[in-house]
Amino acid sequence: MTDIIAPAPAALPDFTRGAVNLASPRLGTAVVACSDDSFGAAERMLADGPAVFKPGVYDDFGKWMDGWESRRRRDAGHDWAVLRLGVPGTVSGFDLDTSHFTGNYPPAVSIEGADCSGEPGEADWRPVLAPFRLGPSAHHFAEAAASGPWLWLRVHQHPDGGLARLRVYGRVVPDLSGEGAIELSALKRGGRPIAWNDAHYGDLWAVLSEGRGRDMGDGWETRRRREPGHDWLILALAAPGTVERIELDTAHYKGNFPHEVSLQAALVGAELPAEVLVTQAQFWPQLLAPQRMAADSLHGFDAGRLAALGPVDQVKVNLHPDGGLSRIRIFGRPDAAI
């Protein structure tokens, strides 16, 4: 049996709205150096899932903990870890999660950032978060003092201890490079989910990730719908563009794939409050008429099956009536004039 601590969406602060976790390994973020991780490997704090606790589990160094944990310092220094973000991004805030660290959490954490393409020197680092007090086994949300953009982060524990998870909330700097149609929906280019009615199972952010899903937990899946209607997800594209191709992947969804999927789209042009956006999206024009889905299959739709809507920057994906999608890929040509 393992215990999981996770904040409810309603408990998340405003700076998390419309943001992605720039520290996610899905984006290619990795720990490249740390002062010490004797008790728990530093890369554990980047794991996408919530931290778990395994009673009675020990390794060669001591109690197994799901996060980065350094040894007890016996000098005047402090511990640190350097992260290279998978893609450059602007940072709005952090979740410094000490879940299950009850007597071994750091009293404070501070963070610095750098935006150089090569490995940072000491002069490249800039303050992003002043020392922020932490407590036992809790999510600690802290707003960033400097947004960047950053490509590197250096996390300082004062003086030592354990951090179960680090979430870096922000926005990817859009990458519109490439010839012809590019994947405008990709997380790595700046696409992101911005509103949805249900994401009971799986990992919603996986739906815009690279590659095919590893298993049924590596995608967006809704609960079984027991009432009229359908489930939906609204995506912001990396930039306005004309959609030329769509891929919908039901990898590993064999008894829980949607019966049909349809897409709507619009050129919104502004960042609207979620409740306004959700209301307006009901009336967006149809980009792709309802299409039958099959189990564990990749479905492709080219321009001949898509409505000619011109440039759009937001897309609503409708599951009829419910189910799971492993990946959603929307390819198009960015519109430089918008």
- DSSP annotation of 115 reads -
Q: Supply 21's token pair.
A: 């976790």
Reported as a single tens digit per residue, the pLDDT across 116-154 is 999 999 999 999 999 999 999 999 999 999 999 999 999
299-321 as b/e, with b when 16 or more CB fall inside 10 Å? bebeeeebeebebbbbbbbbbbb
The 3-class secondary structure across 120-166, one letter per residue, is CCHHHCEEEEEEEECCCCCEEEEECCCCCCEEEEEEEEECCCEECEE
CA angle (233, 236, 241) in 5-degree steps: 125
Question: pLDDT confidence of 64, banded at 50, 70, 90?
Answer: confident
Q: Which residues contact 204 (CB under 8 A, 6 or more apart)?
A: 193, 196, 220, 233
Reported as a single tens digit per residue, the pLDDT across 187-229 is 999 999 999 999 999 999 999 999 999 999 999 999 999 999 9
Omega cis (within 30) before 149: yes
pLDDT for the residue numbered 330: 98
Compute the radius of gyration of the chain from its Cα atoms.
21
Please list the residues that pair with 195 across neighbouring strands.
234
Model confidence at 48: pLDDT above 70: yes
pLDDT for the residue numbered 2: 46
What are the structural domains, with CATH classification, of the chain?
A: 3-172 (2.60.120.260), 182-334 (2.60.120.260)
Q: Which of 228, 221, 202, 231 is nearest to 317 (CA)?
A: 231
pLDDT for the residue numbered 59: 81
Q: In this predicted model, which residue has the larger pLDDT, 57 or 146?
A: 146
pLDDT for the residue numbered 65: 87
**Predicted model pTM:** 0.90
pLDDT for the residue numbered 96: 98
Reported as a single tens digit per residue, the pLDDT across 3-22 is 545 555 557 899 998 899 99
Q: What CA–CA distance (Å, rounded) separates 142 from 176?
A: 31
Q: What average pLDDT does this structure show over 154-183?
A: 95
Reported as a single tens digit per residue, the pLDDT across 87-97 is 999 999 999 99
Reported as a single tens digit per residue, the pLDDT across 295-309 is 999 999 999 999 999
Please list the residues that pair with 87 across neighbouring strands.
none
Report the percent of the chain where pLDDT is more than 90: 87
Model confidence at 337: pLDDT above 90: no
Q: Which residues contact 286 (CB under 8 A, 6 or more apart)?
A: 262, 263, 264, 307
Q: In this predicted model, which residue has the larger pLDDT, 271 or 255?
A: 255
Q: What CA–CA distance (Å, rounded) separates 39 from 161?
A: 9
Q: What CA–CA distance (Å, rounded) separates 50 from 98?
A: 11
Reported as a single tens digit per residue, the pLDDT across 306-332 is 999 999 999 999 999 999 999 999 999
Q: Are 269 and 313 in contact (CB under 8 A)?
A: yes
Model confidence at 1: pLDDT above 70: no
Which amino acid, 15? Answer: F
